[in-house]
Amino acid sequence: MSKPSSRHPVPGPGLVRLAIPNKGRIAQPINELIEKSGLHLAEGGSERRLITRTRDPNVEILFARPIDIPEYVASGVADLGITGRDMVMERGSMVEQVLDLQTGRATLVVAVPEESDIETVADLAGAKVATEFPSITRSFFAGHGVAVTIVTVGGACEATPHLGIADAIVDLSSSGTTLRTNHLRVIDEVLASTTILVANPASLTAKREKIDEIVLALESVIRAKGQCYLMMNVHRSALADVREVLPGLSGPTVMDVASDENLVAVHAVVKEERVYQLINQLKRAGAKDILVMPIERIIR
């Protein structure tokens, strides 16, 4: 797929089309990111269409296979696309990375059966290697000066060595559980991948204002991930002790409170993982009426 089809016409000058995965391991997190960013789908549920409107009349969503998204963006069928870095590299599409979404972390690895005598990539000379990423795999082995036969598969790559189809595989691994379950061990790493936002180069110029708006919305959700908002009252005499233990993006915000107790209100953004310990530390330092609130978006 290298050219726009009549089924997916190029979006008009006043419209930005964002392509996102219709299925796969990164589809659900991306859908959640889109919703949290404020680009709520106007057409949801079981009747979701291939191209779906959002609450923003100038933005629409195209649902596509993750592997096809880079080429949709490169050809202009979509202005923006969210997919894995591995998919972009496999396609070799002419797109520009705009934002690393810092999700969908996985590593493309070379793996062999546990009982195999193969220890290094060089040991695979003349071997058969099964993969869903033939282009990346070919380049990887060529870079190591090792000649192999690439066996392209569409799924269940980890089963191919045990079926006698291949001697090794090149496949994505996030936790290593699937490899261990299938009695495979890693002998080398090909590349690290995360989910990224890519753009059509021409669209970046022609639709810069709206694209920047979308990027800001997505960035704000990413920044807020794992952060909490703390609010508390502190007696002015204990303020120095509270500030000593309280981290924040730019230090805590301190405001006067209309009270006869000489109180101040202290607000701060902190990492969620630190809240458990901070609560006790803040209480000991003199804070009270402590509120912990989730954060949906942080805009700088």
189-242: pLDDT as tens digits = 999 999 999 999 999 999 999 999 999 999 999 999 999 999 999 999 999 899
Residues of the chain by 3-state class (helix, strand, coil), percent to 5: 30, 30, 35
Residue 4 above 90 pLDDT? no
Q: Helix (H, G, I), strand (E, B), or coil: what is residue 220? A: helix
Per-residue pLDDT at 106: 93
The percent of residues in the chain predicted with pLDDT above 90, rounded, is 72
Give the range among 41-55, 166-180, 186-200 with minimum mean pLDDT.
Answer: 41-55
Q: Does pLDDT of 1 surpass 50? A: no
- Asked if the model's pLDDT at residue 47 lies above 60, the reply is no
- Cα–Cα distance, 133 to 124 (Å, whole number): 17
What is the pTM for the complete model shown? 0.82
* Among 184, 37, 15, CA closest to 109: 184
Query: Per-residue pLDDT averaged across 28-48, rounded?
Result: 79
pLDDT over threshold 70, residue 5: no
Strand blocks (E) in the chain? 16-21, 51-53, 59-64, 80-84, 96-100, 106-113, 128-131, 149-152, 168-173, 184-193, 195-199, 227-235, 253-256, 263-271, 287-294
**Residues 46, 52, 53: CA angle, nearest 5 degrees:** 125
**pLDDT (tens digit, 9 = 90+) per residue, 117-175?**
999 999 999 999 999 999 999 999 999 999 999 999 988 899 999 999 999 999 999 88
Mean pLDDT computed over 47-68? 88
